[in-house]
Amino acid sequence: MFPLNRPRRLRQNPQLRRMVRETILTPNDLIYPLFAVPGNSVAQEVKSMPGVYQLSVDKIVEEAKEVYDLGIPAIILFGIPEIKDIEATGAWHDHGIVQQAATAVKKAVPDLVVIADTCLCEYTSHGHCGYLEVGDLTGRVLNDPTLELLKKTAVSQANAGADIIAPSGMMDGFVQAIREGLDEWGFEHIPILSYAAKYASAYYGPFRDAADSSPQFGDRRTYQMDPGNAREALKEVDLDISEGADMLMVKPALSYMDIIWRVKEMTDLPVAAYNVSGEYAMVKAAALNGWIDEKKVTLETLTSFKRAGADLILTYHAKDAVRWLAED
């Protein structure tokens, strides 16, 4: 009564395991987020995200060179402006901090792909992702007027050298508005990576330290998705595809691998997953306490995102992950 089928035959040594491995993580799968701030020679570590820094443009360029030398193909830029206002001027101004960083990086490392996060929460004085009614303290963003701000922001970022526009505000119709704006200004060749299914998640906490983007009142649940909804994510994705999205993102990643899988099953477009700040911080905190093996947990997690269907992974672990992959 011995078993006829013995799957363990193909697990008995590293060479065999590599030969039959179904999902392989590579540097080409990774995108590294960077946070640009005004000033010179600024490298301020984010307290809740060990190893992640707010960087001035000169330091962003240094980091971009290192990222490119490691073989990571792309970065995504977030900005913290010197002044915030209700018009989110720092998001769309030609001399905005992301615009400055994009131009500097493309000049220094022209073959590195620069993605611009196209949102307004870092730039508004109230911390919400668009216009609010005067006196409104609920955080209910006015959708259609905000589309005009997003359109201006995307065009400005493309004009500064961004290779990909990544709108993340979850406004209805934002992909169509941005596509129209880009095309009108001669940027038909610039692709849109839409945050198509972005959930109102507690996992974003440390990011708000990094990007100084906490809402001053209310929350973002009137525009970001309810964590209990899956079918709605597919509706959002379908709408973004119909509006002209070239790539799609699911955010967060760790608790939403079922959504990544469903999105990948419904479309042939590239699917990205954002391994967000809270997911990163949990791994870092546990590793610093000696409770987990950071390398093994990180590579297992990133591989799991890819196994779930992610073609691209935005992650603060990117540099470490590439170095660890080179060791194996």
DSSP letters of 90-144?
HHHSTT-HHHHHHHHHHHH-TTSEEEEEE-STTTSTT-SSS-B-TT--S--B-HH
Determine whether 251 is an active site residue: yes
The answer to whether 208 is a known ligand-binding residue is yes
First-residue to last-residue Cα distance in the chain: 39
Determine whether 198 is an active site residue: yes
| CA separation for the pair 312, 328 (Å, rounded) | 21
| CA separation for the pair 20, 10 (Å, rounded) | 8
The answer to whether 129 is a known ligand-binding residue is yes
Report yes or no: 64 and 81 within 8 Å, Cβ to Cβ: no
| Active-site residue, from 106, 251, 306, 319 | 251
| Active-site residue, from 59, 106, 198, 284 | 198
> Quick one: which of 322, 314, 313 has its CA closest to 295?
322
Which residues have C-beta within 8 Å of that of residue 272, sequence separation ≥ 6? 31, 193, 247, 248, 249, 250, 310, 311, 312, 313, 314
The answer to whether 220 is a known ligand-binding residue is yes
List the binding residues.
119, 121, 129, 208, 220, 236, 277, 316
Q: Which residue numbers are catalytic?
A: 198, 251
List the binding residues for 5-aminolevulinate.
208, 220, 277, 316
